[in-house]
Amino acid sequence: MEEVVPKGISVRLVAFNLGYLPGGDKAIITASETTLLALEAAKRILAPGGLISIVVYVGHPGGREEYETVQAFASGLAVENWICCKLQMLNRPLAPILVFIFKR
């Protein structure tokens, strides 16, 4: 992200759709390590009042681990500067989980 967004420019929205590309090769998936790096970059370029939106698909191999990485990242953000929440279906344990991270 920081290679694409010019230095000194901030953005108001960063959207993540984790897992694999629908209709694509299901062997190619996002990974916890690179997702964490991308979240850190998104945090640095996000403007005050901006939003990071993350859809985490937990039903594929590595999906639950990736969700735990996202949750740990969001949980570690300072409450004075960030509002973090998740939307999760209670009766469908493999349904995607939506995470919102709002920068104050």
Domain ranges of the chain: 30-46+61-103
Q: pLDDT band at residue 12, thresholds of 50, 70 and 90?
A: very high
The letter for the amino acid at 60 is H
Specify whether the backbone of 8 is left (phi greater than 0), alpha (psi in -120 to 50) or beta: left
d(Cα 69, Cα 36) in Å, to the nearest integer? 7
Residue 46 banded pLDDT, cuts 50, 70, 90: very high
Helix, strand, or coil here: 7? coil
pTM of the model: 0.93
Do residues 98 and 53 lie in contact, with contact meaning Cβ atoms separated by under 8 Å? yes
| % of the chain residues with pLDDT over 90 | 85
Q: Is 45 in contact with 2 (CB distance < 8 Å)?
A: yes
For the segment 50-78, the average pLDDT, to the nearest whole number, is 96
Mean pLDDT, range 92-99, rounded to an integer: 96
The pLDDT score that the predictor gives to residue 27 is 87
